[in-house]
Amino acid sequence: MRQRLTIGRLFLHQPELLLLDEPYAGLDERAVALLDALLAQAHQRGTTIVLCTHQLELALQHAGRLLILHRGKVAHWGPNDRARQAETRDLYRQFAG
């Protein structure tokens, strides 16, 4: 419930920039769906969203650009190209283990 409350407060004032660190942690499927909808609405309004997560599939749904870090260094940086998502998944698995 705390995570849900925190997420609700994030969107309350329709900020121009959202910085989210593991926002899906501790959420059930219903809350994940709600967060996804809120992120999509914020994106449509032009909000810049920086989302850090270990949940690649959720990131691939939302990201315009992807950054993969490995031991503090950039392993991948570029657009979220739908045609190359399999390659991105392989790269992520290589570094995430």
Number of compact structural domains in the chain: 2
For residue 8, pLDDT over 80 is answered with no
Domain that holds residue 25: 1-53
Has residue 59 been placed in a domain? no
Q: Give the C-alpha distances (Å, rounded to integers) separating 31 from 12, 27, 36, 37, 91.
A: 16, 6, 8, 10, 29
Cβ atoms of 77 and 66 closer than 8 Å: yes
Cα 66–Cα 84–Cα 55 angle in degrees, nearest 5: 45
Looking at the structure, tell me whether residues 86 and 43 fall in a common domain.
no
What pTM was estimated for this model as a whole? 0.76
Looking at the structure, tell me whether residues 73 and 43 fall in a common domain.
no
Looking at the structure, tell me whether residues 73 and 92 fall in a common domain.
yes
Looking at the structure, tell me whether residues 12 and 42 fall in a common domain.
yes
**Confidence (pLDDT) at 97:** 63
For residue 2, pLDDT over 80 is answered with no
**Confidence (pLDDT) at 45:** 92
> pLDDT category, 46, cuts 50, 70, 90?
very high
